[in-house]
C-alpha cells in the first residue's frame, strides 16, 4: 500500500566497546553500537544511521534516515525519516521530515518538522469595494 524506498546498505560499524573521539563522515549506512564523541554526518544521499540500544553519541547526527534506540546528546537532523525507538533518549532538538516515535522514547528538546517546500508566490488578494 505505502511504498518505501529501500534503505542503503549499512557498510560501517562502530562496535560495542569502541570509543571514537572526533567527527565521523560516512557514506550509505552506519551502525553505532559503541560510543562516539563528535558529530555523525553522511556524505551522500540516501543515507541511514542506526544508534543502537547500547550506543551513546555526544554530538550532532545528520542523515536522511535516522534510527535511534540508544542515547544521543546533541541535535538530530533527519532529512527524510526519524525513528525514535522505545529505549531512545535524545537530549537536543530534532529536525525531521517524517517522525515515528515509539512508546517509552524520550526527547528532551524541540521537535522541528521540516519547513514545507516554498510554494510559488500567490498573487495578493484584493478585497472588492462597494465604491463605484
pLDDT tens per residue across span 98-125: 999 999 999 999 999 987 654 445 555 5
Rounded-to-integer distance, Cα 66 and Cα 99, Å: 10
Residue 89 — φ and ψ, nearest 5°?
Answer: -135, 110
Residue 130, pLDDT > 60, answer: no
Amino acid 114: pLDDT = 86
Residue for grid cell 522541528: 112
CA distances from 93 to 10, 16, 44, 76, 89 (A): 25, 26, 23, 6, 12
Residue 89, pLDDT > 90, answer: yes
Confidence tier at 2 by pLDDT (50, 70, 90): very low
Q: Closest by alpha carbon to 50, among 71, 29, 23? A: 29
Q: What is the mean pLDDT of the chain?
A: 88
Rounded-to-integer distance, Cα 33 and Cα 62, Å: 17
Q: Please write the tens of the pLDDT for every residue from 24-59.
A: 999 999 999 999 999 999 988 899 999 999 999 999
Roughly how many angstroms between the first and final C-alpha of the chain, as a whole number? 56
Residue 84, pLDDT > 60, answer: yes
Amino acid 123: pLDDT = 52
Residue 129, pLDDT > 70, answer: no
Q: Please write the tens of the pLDDT for every residue from 58-80.
A: 999 999 999 999 999 999 999 99
Amino acid at each position: 500500500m505505502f511504498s518505501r524506498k529501500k534503505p542503503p546498505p549499512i557498510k560501517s560499524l562502530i562496535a560495542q566497546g569502541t570509543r571514537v573521539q572526533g567527527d565521523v563522515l560516512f557514506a550509505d549506512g552506519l551502525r553505532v553500537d559503541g560510543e562516539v564523541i563528535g558529530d555523525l554526518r553522511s556524505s551522500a544521499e540516501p543515507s541511514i544511521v542506526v544508534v543502537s540500544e547500547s550506543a551513546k553519541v555526544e554530538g550532532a547526527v545528520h542523515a536522511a534516515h535516522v534510527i535511534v534506540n540508544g542515547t544521543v546528546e546533541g541535535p538530530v537532523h533527519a532529512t527524510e525519516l526519524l525513528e525514535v525507538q522505545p529505549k531512545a533518549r535524545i537530549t537536543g532538538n530534532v529536525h525531521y521530515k517524517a517522525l515515528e516515535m515509539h512508546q517509552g522514547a524520550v526527547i528532551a528538546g524541540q521537535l522541528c518538522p521540516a519547513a514545507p517546500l516554498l510554494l510559488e508566490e500567490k498573487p495578493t488578494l484584493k478585497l472588492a469595494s462597494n465604491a463605484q
